[in-house]
Structure 1
Amino acid sequence: MQGPGPALFGILNVTPDSFSDGGDFLDPEAAARHAAGMLEEGADAIDIGGESTRPGSDPVTEEEELRRVVPVIRAILQAHPDAGVSVDTYRASTAEAALEAGARIVNDVTALRGDRRMAALVADAGCPLILMHMLGEPKTMQKEPRYDDVVREVRDFLARRADHAIAAGVDAENVALDPGIGFGKTLEHNLALLRNLEAIVGLGFPVLLGASRKRFLGRITGTEEAKDRVFGTVATTVLGYERGATLFRVHDVRANREALAVAEAVWRV
C-alpha cells in the first residue's frame, strides 16, 4: 500500500451529518469538484464515506450508502481516471460496488467485524485494506470510554485484526492499521496514542493517522468550529510522521502536504 514518503488521503464525506462537512458534498458533481481540488493540492487518494461515524450518529441503510457513494466514485474517476479512491465502509456490498466502480482501497472502521463477508471480498479483490480500532459503535463510543492501558489494548486489537485478515487471505503487504483517534477515546486516550504511536508502528504495517479537525483538538486549542482546527491537525500530522505514521487522512490537504514536505526535508538522510 505504501510508496516512498508519506501519503495523504483527502476526506470526502457524502453525508448530511458528518461532524465537519456534513451536507457539503451530497451532490455528486459538488463532491467531484471538491475531490478535484484535493487532488490538485496533493492528495494521493480520496477517501469517500457514505455513512457518518461521528459520535452519536446512527447507521444508514445499505441502499442509502450505495446511493451516496457509487455515483461520486464514478464522477471522480470520469474526470480523473488515474485518481486513487478509497471507500470508507464496513459493508461488503458497498465495498464490492465501490471496487467495481473503480475504487482501489477499502477503509473499514470496524476492522472486519461489521460484516463477516468483508475479509473474503478484500482477499479476492487483492486490494489494500485499512483496519481501524473503535471502542463500541459510533452511537455510543464516546459515552465514558475506558481502558486499563489504551496503547496496549489498541495495539493488541490491531495485531489480532491484522492476523485475522491475513488468515482470511488478505496479502500482508495490503494491510494498514489505524489506531482510531477519537473513536471511543477521551482526550487523554488520544494523547497517549499519539505519544506512543511507535507501539502501533512496531507491528510492522503502515499506520494511518486520522486526527483531522477532531473534537479533542478543539479542547486543546479552544477552537469551537471543526473547520478552524487546521493548525491543530497539522501538528498531529507532523508529530505522527515523526513517530512513524506514513498515511494521513485529512480534510485540509495543502496545509498538511506542505507541513509534511518540511518535515521530510528536515528528517531525510
Structure 2
Amino acid sequence: MSRFLLREIPYSNIHVELAEIGFDSLYLDVISEKFRYKNIKIYGLSTAQANILKQTALIFGADCAVNKNVVTGKIETSDVILCGSYSQLQKIVSKLKRQPFKLAMLAGKIQDFLNKPAGKTKITGILNVTPDSFSDGGLYLKPEDAQRKLISLIEDGADMIDIGAESTKPYSVPVAPEEQIARLKPILSFIINEGLTTKISIDTRSSAVADFALNNGAHLINDVSGFEFDNKMANVISRYNAGVIIQHSKDKAENTPVYKNVVDEIFLNLKDKISFAQEAGINDIIIDPGIGFGKSREDNFKILENIQTFYSLECPVMVGISRKRLLHVQDAGNDIKDAFTLAYSYPLMSAGVDFLRVHNVKLHKLFLNSLPT
C-alpha cells in the first residue's frame, strides 16, 4: 500500500479542512479564495483585448485560452476562456482597470460575475387547468378542484404558483385564447376574492391571455416560446409593469434540433431575449433554459451540468424537470417520478438555482428546509 493518502476536498468544505490542519485562522478568508476556481467564457474580444487579457492572466499565474490566430492578427475578434482562482481573478480585475481598449469595462463585468451571491432556491408549484397536460391533465379542470389544489400548494409552501390553461407537451393541440381565458377566469377570481398573496404566474404564449391574466391579479407571465409565438407579448407585459419568465424553446417540443454547442446557443439566445425584454420596458425577468423543449436527453443533461453558466446573464434562473421524460421513468407512478425529480433537483439546489418548477411542492420544501443554512 502506498504511504501517501490523498483525498479531494470540495470548496464548500475548505474552511473546515484548513482549520483542521492548523492553518492560521486570521488568514482563512484570504487563503480560501485561492482554492476557489472559475472558468469564464468571454465573447467577441478584439485581438488587442484578448492579448492583453492573456498576458495579464499569465502574470498572476492564471491563464486565458484564445483563438490560435490571435497572436498572428489574422482574425479581428476571438472568444476567450479565462480561468483562475478567485484570488487570481481579483488581481486580474484590478490590473484590467488600468488598461486601454475598454478593458476597464470588462473588469467591471468580471467583478460582477465573481460577486453573485448564492440564495436559497425557491419552489414554484404547478397548477394546470387543462384536460391534456402530461402529468395532471384533467385533474383540475373543474374550478372547485383547481381551487383546492391551489390552496394545497400554498399550504405546502409554494413561493410562486404557475397556472397553465394550455398544454405544451409534445403533439399537444393549441388552445384558442378565448378557451384559455375561460379556464383561467374562475381560479383568478378565486385568488382575488380570497385575498391570496402568493405570487402567481400564468403559463401562456398568447398576449390576449396575458392581458386578461395581468388585469385579473396575475403577477408575471411564463412564456414558453420566449416571445417567439406572439409579437405583442412583450408590450402587454410591459404595459402592466409585470414580470416575465423567458424560456428557451428552439422548436416544437416534439422536434429535436441539432445543436453545435447546446449550452452556448441557449446562453446567447437568452441573452438576446433579455435585451429584447428590457428594451420593451420589462425589468422583472426570470430565465428558463427549457428542459425538454426541443432538446435531446443528452442536451438536457448538458444544460443541467452547466446550469451555473446561465447565472452570468444576471437574471434569476428557473429550471423545470418535474416528472419529465428526462427522468426515464415514464411508466412509473407520480410518487416515483417525484422522488426522481427531487434527486435530480438536489445538485441544482446546491448550485444555487433560483427557482425549481415542480408538481410536488411539499416534498421539495421539506427537503429544502432540512438542509443546513
TM-score (norm 1): 0.90
Q: Which amino acid aligns with 2:209?
A: T
Deviation of residue 122 (structure 1)?
A: 1.1
Deviation of residue 109 (structure 1)?
A: 0.5
Higher relative contact order (CA 8 A, sep 6+): 1
> Does residue 1:93 correspond to 2:201, yes or no?
no
Distance 1:226 1:66, change over 3 A: farther
- Which residue pairs with 1:241 in the alignment? 349
**Superposition pairs of residues 147-166 of structure 1, within 5 angstroms:** 147-166=259-278
**Superposition pairs of residues 1-269 of structure 1, within 5 angstroms:** 5-137=120-252, 141-171=253-283, 174-217=284-327, 219=328, 222=329, 224-225=331-332, 227=334, 228-263=336-371, 265=372, 268=373
How far apart, CA to CA, are the structure 2 residues paired with 1:116 and 1:90? 10
Distance 1:225 1:68, change over 3 A: farther
Task: Answer whether contact 1:12 1:35 (CA < 8 A) is retained.
Answer: yes
Task: Answer whether contact 2:121 2:352 (CA < 8 A) is retained.
Answer: no
Q: Secondary structure at the match of 1:202?
A: helix
Q: Secondary structure at the match of 1:136?
A: coil
Distance 1:53 1:66, change over 3 A: same
Deviation of residue 194 (structure 1)?
A: 0.4
Q: Which amino acid aligns with 2:289?
A: P
Q: Which amino acid aligns with 1:238?
A: Y
Deviation of residue 38 (structure 1)?
A: 0.8
How far apart, CA to CA, are the structure 2 residues paired with 1:243 and 1:19? 28
How far apart, CA to CA, are the structure 2 residues paired with 1:136 and 1:254? 33
| Structure 2: gaps (5+ residues) | 1-118
Q: Which amino acid aligns with 1:224?
A: D
Q: Secondary structure at the match of 1:189?
A: helix
Deviation of residue 113 (structure 1)?
A: 1.6
- Amino-acid identity (%): 37
Structure 1 residue ranges, 4+ long, deviating more than 3 angstroms after superposition? none
How far apart, CA to CA, are the structure 1 residues paired with 2:194 and 2:146? 12
Deviation of residue 80 (structure 1)?
A: 4.6
Q: Secondary structure at the match of 1:39?
A: helix
TM-score (norm 2): 0.66
How far apart, CA to CA, are the structure 2 residues paired with 1:241 and 1:232? 14
Q: Secondary structure at the match of 1:147?
A: coil
Distance 1:77 1:83, change over 3 A: farther
Deviation of residue 96 (structure 1)?
A: 1.1
Distance 1:77 1:239, change over 3 A: farther
How far apart, CA to CA, are the structure 1 residues paired with 2:246 and 2:217? 20
Task: Answer whether contact 2:121 2:354 (CA < 8 A) is retained.
Answer: yes
Deviation of residue 226 (structure 1)?
A: 5.8
How far apart, CA to CA, are the structure 2 residues paired with 1:18 and 1:24? 9
Q: Which amino acid aligns with 2:325?
A: R
How far apart, CA to CA, are the structure 1 residues paired with 2:255 and 2:221? 28
Task: Answer whether contact 1:197 1:244 (CA < 8 A) is retained.
Answer: no
How far apart, CA to CA, are the structure 2 residues paired with 1:153 and 1:226? 34
Listed one character per residue, the Cα deviations across residues 111-133 of structure 1 (whole Å, up to 9, x for unaligned) are: 11211111111112111110001
| Structure 1: gaps (5+ residues) | none
Q: Secondary structure at the match of 2:313?
A: coil
Task: Answer whether contact 1:215 1:226 (CA < 8 A) is retained.
Answer: no
Listed one character per residue, the Cα deviations across residues 18-52 of structure 1 (whole Å, up to 9, x for unaligned) are: 00000000011110100100100000121100000
Deviation of residue 261 (structure 1)?
A: 2.1
Deviation of residue 167 (structure 1)?
A: 0.9
